Amino acid sequence: MATFYVTTPIYYVNDEPHIGHAYTTLLADVLARYHRSLGDEVHFLTGTDEHGQKVQESAIKRNVQPQQHVDEYVVRFQELWKKLHIQNDDFIRTTEKRHTDRVVDLLNILWEKGEIYAAEYEGYYSVSEERFITEKEVEDGNFREIKKLKEKNYFFRMSNYQETLIEHIKTHPEFILPKTRRNEILGFLEKPLTDLCISRPKTRLSWGIELPFDKDYVTYVWLDALTNYISAIGWNTDNKRFQKWWPANYHLMGKDILTTHSVYWPTLLMAAGIQLPKTILAHGFWLSGDTKMSKSLGNVVNPLDLVDSYGVDPVRYYLMRDMVLGHDASFSLDGFVRRYNSDLANDFGNLVNRVTILIKKHFSGILPETGTFDKTDLELIAIAKSAPQKVRSLISNLKINEAIEITVGLFRELNRYLEKREPWKTVKLDKAHKISAGTTLSLAADILRIGAQLLHPVMPNRIDLILQILGAQNLDLVNFSVGLLKPGTVLGEGKSPFPRIEIPK
Ligand code: MSP
């Protein structure tokens, strides 16, 4: 059985979870569910980044100990994931011993190998970014809270790995996706890479993992955080488990944290003699109109508000359907409602109602026998047979929005088929016509079931409901063959869980 290991960034625990966090986690969840449905053994990891200056400052502001602060705040993320029906296999917190011990191991390995050295460094430091920045970056003016600092610190010999990293990126086209981001990183690597400052003096920051070779320092928060991807799966403790999952199939993230993942992380791994992840995937931002959603701009859409008004699954659907991976996407309530009404209420929901109501009315709610299929039926069957394979290949190529389109396309095809057949008219004619209307409706219900199954990873709960309405609740969710919903099946109660949304003008 193939294994599939997918990760999200671990989120800063002092932030209010917003659409950016929700999107990356949902994306991982949908990919994980699709891969489970393809028969892969899946490990899906998410978690929280709990050390560093921002957390320390928030704790001081609230007048509590940092540990108490993170313990209270982590719950917001855990609750949101529950609410969004995220099926993660593990949740790692960087304050857990299973993680901090591994960070210490990694530091020891690098120290013993001579990959880390101490040096006096004078430079500009951005407090908000928690890192030293170059003079050029100071001039660019994108950083806030800049101080000039002179202090002893520890540095990782990142510059030694520049050539090997470039070579790896060039020979592994799938290492950084999408291609535009890969080119950006290759462009960034044209300039000489500096060594990476991996420590912070405790006099400035005490909330972190102490360096094993100097108790006056804590570990730079990014080295600490990145290590979660291996600490969580047993690196350096449970080798069998680690070998099973590593290297990760996908590290998912927003484009703003691509450099740390595609430069710092692989060079650290190379230095420690650990294999590199297979793919680092950066998605775009959700914009509000044309502007990035950010807390400081105050235009953040809280996914919880939408979920409270319209339910989890429609929100999952919208976020997956309307972002082309790698590009930015514009979020609006209007866009959400339009997408919902056209795909879910009209194309999908009406179809469910139409087919089930006719079967209930004319066949006592029992799927009628099918007669012989004619050319029109066989054409529809051919489309339904090809859909799962197309969806599979699109998912493997991370084209989730296109995979969804294929499924909605199948519903549209089914609607056209019914318009052509008009079973609502023919069922009332003679006996022969009733038999042919029965064939049409049984086939329609079966193909509707296939389409529903294909959308299950995106909308698990409402699809379960639809499968139950179709009498398909006991069928194998991942068997997409035509003909599994047999004549004689008794339909369930209820109607489509996608009623039209009317927004008052
Ligand atoms: N703690 C680090 C990650 C460490 S991983 C080893 C971090 N945390 S974060 O909480 O700031 O992460 C936020 C995630 O949400 C990032 O992937 C970021 O790109 C993403 N987004 C933040 N705003 C976003 C949008 N408006 N739209 C989509 N995603 C965006 O960075």
For residues 240-257, average pLDDT = 97
| Dihedrals phi, psi of 433, to nearest 5 degrees | -65, -35
Q: How confident is the model at residue 287 (pLDDT cuts 50, 70, 90)?
A: confident
3-state secondary structure of 505: coil
Rounded to the nearest 10 degrees, the angle between the axes of helix 375-396 and helix 400-421 is 170
Distance CA 413, CA 421 (A): 12
Q: How far apart are the first and last CA of the chain?
A: 53
Task: Inform me whether the pLDDT recorded for 115 exceeds 70.
Answer: yes
Task: Inform me whether the pLDDT recorded for 20 exceeds 90.
Answer: no
Ligand 1 centre and the CA of 13: distance in Å? 11
Quick one: tokens of 477?
A: 């969710």
Q: Answer yes or no: are the C-beta atoms of 453 and 38 closer than 8 Å.
A: no
Q: Answer yes or no: are the C-beta atoms of 124 and 135 closer than 8 Å.
A: yes
Q: What pLDDT, in 10s, does the model give residues 94-113?
A: 999 999 999 999 999 999 99
- Count other C-beta atoms under 10 Å from residue 122's C-beta: 9
Ligand 1 centre and the CA of 34: distance in Å? 23
Nearest CA to ligand 1 atom 7: 11
Q: Answer yes or no: are the C-beta atoms of 281 and 252 closer than 8 Å.
A: yes
DSSP state of 52: S
Residue 383, C-beta contacts closer than 8 angstroms, at least 6 positions apart: 410, 413
What is the chain's mean pLDDT, rounded? Answer: 94
Task: Inform me whether the pLDDT recorded for 9 exceeds 70.
Answer: yes
Q: Answer yes or no: are the C-beta atoms of 208 and 218 closer than 8 Å.
A: yes
Nearest CA to ligand 1 atom 5: 9
Residue 379, C-beta contacts closer than 8 angstroms, at least 6 positions apart: none
> Identity (one letter) of the amino acid at 32?
A
For residues 284-313, average pLDDT = 76
Bond preceding residue 247 cis, omega within 30 of 0: yes
Q: Domains plus CATH for the chain?
A: 333-469 (1.10.730.10)
Q: What pLDDT, in 10s, does the model give residues 384-431?
A: 999 999 999 999 999 999 999 999 999 999 999 999 999 999 999 999
For residues 313-328, average pLDDT = 94
Q: What pLDDT, on a 0 to 100 scale, did the predictor assign at position 503?
A: 75
Testing ligand 1's pocket by substitution, the residue of 8, 19, 21, 261 carrying the most ligand atoms inside 8 A of its CB is 21
Nearest CA to ligand 1 atom 18: 254
Q: Mean pLDDT lowest for which of 9-23, 120-134, 328-342, 363-377? A: 120-134
DSSP state of 207: S
Ligand 1 centre and the CA of 360: distance in Å? 49
Q: 132 exposed, middle or buried (CB, 10 Å; 0-12, 13-18, 19+)?
A: middle
List all residues whose CB is within 6 A of at least one atom of ligand 1: 9-12, 15, 20-21, 23-24, 49, 225-226, 253-254, 256-257, 285-286, 292-293
Q: What pLDDT, on a 0 to 100 scale, did the predictor assign at position 298?
A: 65
Task: Inform me whether the pLDDT recorded for 382 exceeds 90.
Answer: yes
Category of 311 on φ-ψ map: left (φ > 0), alpha (ψ -120 to 50) or beta: left
| Dihedrals phi, psi of 176, to nearest 5 degrees | -120, 125
Q: Answer yes or no: are the C-beta atoms of 431 and 368 closer than 8 Å.
A: no
pLDDT above 90 coverage of the chain, percent: 82
Q: How confident is the model at residue 489 (pLDDT cuts 50, 70, 90)?
A: very high
Quick one: tokens of 287?
A: 């914009």
Nearest CA to ligand 1 atom 12: 11
The vertex-443 CA angle with 437 and 448, nearest 5°, equals 125
Testing ligand 1's pocket by substitution, the residue of 6, 7, 8, 12 carrying the most ligand atoms inside 8 A of its CB is 12
Testing ligand 1's pocket by substitution, the residue of 51, 256, 260, 296 carrying the most ligand atoms inside 8 A of its CB is 256
- Count other C-beta atoms under 10 Å from residue 425's C-beta: 10
Ligand 1 centre and the CA of 306: distance in Å? 20
Q: What pLDDT, in 10s, does the model give residues 185-207?
A: 999 999 999 999 999 999 989 99
Nearest CA to ligand 1 atom 21: 20
Quick one: tokens of 92?
A: 């790692």
Closest ligand 1 atom, residue 11 Cα = 10
Q: 384 exposed, middle or buried (CB, 10 Å; 0-12, 13-18, 19+)?
A: buried
Ligand 1 centre and the CA of 47: distance in Å? 12
Distance CA 274, CA 38 (A): 29
Q: What pLDDT, on a 0 to 100 scale, did the predictor assign at position 294?
A: 64
DSSP state of 369: P
